[in-house]
């Protein structure tokens, strides 16, 4: 009997050791392969953004070997906060939100943009029957920006308005509205809720191509000068490399720069969503002008 009991106890001990060993191995594996989370400012329709950023995450997973996941944000500020807390490892920012994010996460780097982002523009739109042909003509009209933290839908339009001698807080018919994103800005002006508004030129052009704009109801009356805007920013590369492995920043950057519309499939679909055929390198210095404008307008500390 004693021999049987001894054998049972020995077996239990071996099971326990084996189970603990497997458990430890599992925990180690989990620690070695954390999820690399990406985000994007919610500047377009949520369904389109979520679908295409999900495909972007899938592409990055395949190219880098990382487990990549897209994490939606309720608004621009939430994405910046998530980036600051380290909950988002890389994000597609506008010029202003990128500056804000790098301000709260020192060491973060802008790594890639579309060619168009080096010469981006905003458009000012108005109801078709309004006698509006220049910025000065919108004094006394109702007006909507996009998101308050948007570069192309708020910061730069506000800057060009002030350059034209217009105080957005005093010269409109009522306080300016903030629609939340570019698609909504078009809808609000086209639907008659606001007489005028400003938005991202690429969303305007995309909406026309997709027949989402009724040009009998809304028109562009002013296009701004060029400025730097959208870009991918990676969170504190030194920390990223410590957590995800040496060279992760360069691996992710290389994958983005290698995206090619001619590859077809989801890669081509994602680039189509971004309205480009490729991404090119960028760096933090390209957004110094945006930072200065943001400081002058009190939108960057």
pLDDT tens-digit readout, 107-151: 999 999 999 999 999 999 999 999 999 999 999 999 999 999 999
- Show me where the domains of the chain are located: 34-116+229-287, 121-223
- Judge whether residue 28 has pLDDT over 80: no
pLDDT at site 278: 96
* pLDDT (average), residues 4-30: 45
pLDDT band at 31 (very low <50, low <70, confident <90, very high): low
CATH code that applies to domain 34-116+229-287: 3.40.190.10
Mark 118-128 as b/e (b = at least 16 C-beta within 10 Å).
Answer: eebbbbbbbbe
- The encoded tokens of residue 158 equal 């506000």
Phi, psi of 142 (to 5 degrees): -80, 150
Q: Which fold has domain 121-223?
A: D-Maltodextrin-Binding Protein; domain 2 (3.40.190)
- Judge whether residue 4 has pLDDT over 90: no
pLDDT at site 210: 94
* pLDDT (average), residues 2-13: 46
* pLDDT (average), residues 98-105: 96
284 vs 49: CA distance, rounded Å: 25
* pLDDT (average), residues 202-210: 95
pLDDT band at 265 (very low <50, low <70, confident <90, very high): confident
pLDDT digits (tens, 9 = 90+) for 267-299: 999 999 999 999 999 999 999 999 999 999 988
* pLDDT (average), residues 188-197: 98
Helix (H) or strand (E) holding 248: helix 248-257
pLDDT band at 14 (very low <50, low <70, confident <90, very high): very low
pLDDT at site 259: 97
Domains 34-116+229-287 and 121-223 share a fold: yes
169 vs 176: CA distance, rounded Å: 7
């Amino acid at each position: 009997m004693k021999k049987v009991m001894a054998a049972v106890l020995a077996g239990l001990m071996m099971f326990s050791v084996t189970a603990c060993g497997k458990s430890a191995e599992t925990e180690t594996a989990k620690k070695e392969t954390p999820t690399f989370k990406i985000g994007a400012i919610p500047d377009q329709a949520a369904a389109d953004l979520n679908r295409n950023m999900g495909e972007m995450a899938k592409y990055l997973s395949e190219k880098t070997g990382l487990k990549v996941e897209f994490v939606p944000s309720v608004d621009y500020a939430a994405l910046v906060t998530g980036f600051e807390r380290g909950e988002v490892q890389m994000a597609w920012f506008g010029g202003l939100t990128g500056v804000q994010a790098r301000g709260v996460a020192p060491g973060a780097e802008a790594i890639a943009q579309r060619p168009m982002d080096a010469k981006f523009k905003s458009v000012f739109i108005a109801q078709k029957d309004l006698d509006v042909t220049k910025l000065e003509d919108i004094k006394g009209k109702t007006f909507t920006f996009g998101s308050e933290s948007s570069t192309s839908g708020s910061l730069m339009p506000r800057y060009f308005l002030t350059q034209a001698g217009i105080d957005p807080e005093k010269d409109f018919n009522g306080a300016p509205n903030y629609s939340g994103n570019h698609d909504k800005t078009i809808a609000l002006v086209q639907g008659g809720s606001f007489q005028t508004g400003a938005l991202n030129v690429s969303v305007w052009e995309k909406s026309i191509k997709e027949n989402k704009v009724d040009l009998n109801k809304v028109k562009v009356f002013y296009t701004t000068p060029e400025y730097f805007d959208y870009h991918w920013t990676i969170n504190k590369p030194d920390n990223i490399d410590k957590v995800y492995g040496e060279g992760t920043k360069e691996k992710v950057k290389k994958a983005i720069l290698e995206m090619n519309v001619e590859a077809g499939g989801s890669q081509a679909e994602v680039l189509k969503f971004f309205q480009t055929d490729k991404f090119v390198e960028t760096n933090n210095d390209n957004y110094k002008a945006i930072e200065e404008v943001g400081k002058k307008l009190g939108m960057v500390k």
